Amino acid sequence: MSDSSHNHQENQAVYTRVALVLLAVLAAIVVIGLIG
């Protein structure tokens, strides 16, 4: 936990991956809502 500045790029990659997952979930909800 002491190397917070060293892991900044890794954290950014994780945040990007989480954002993509959230967008995929929202898209799935919208598609299901439109179909249903």
The DSSP string of 1-36 is ---TTTTHHHHHHHHHHHHHHHHHHHHHHHHHHHH-
Give tens-digit pLDDT for 15-30.
Answer: 999 999 999 999 999 9
What is the reported pTM? 0.62
Q: What is the pLDDT, as a whole number, of residue 3?
A: 63
**Residue 31 — very low, low, confident or very high, per pLDDT cuts 50/70/90?**
very high
Which residue ranges make up each domain of the chain? 8-36
What mean pLDDT is reported for the chain? 89
Q: What is the pLDDT, as a whole number, of residue 17?
A: 98
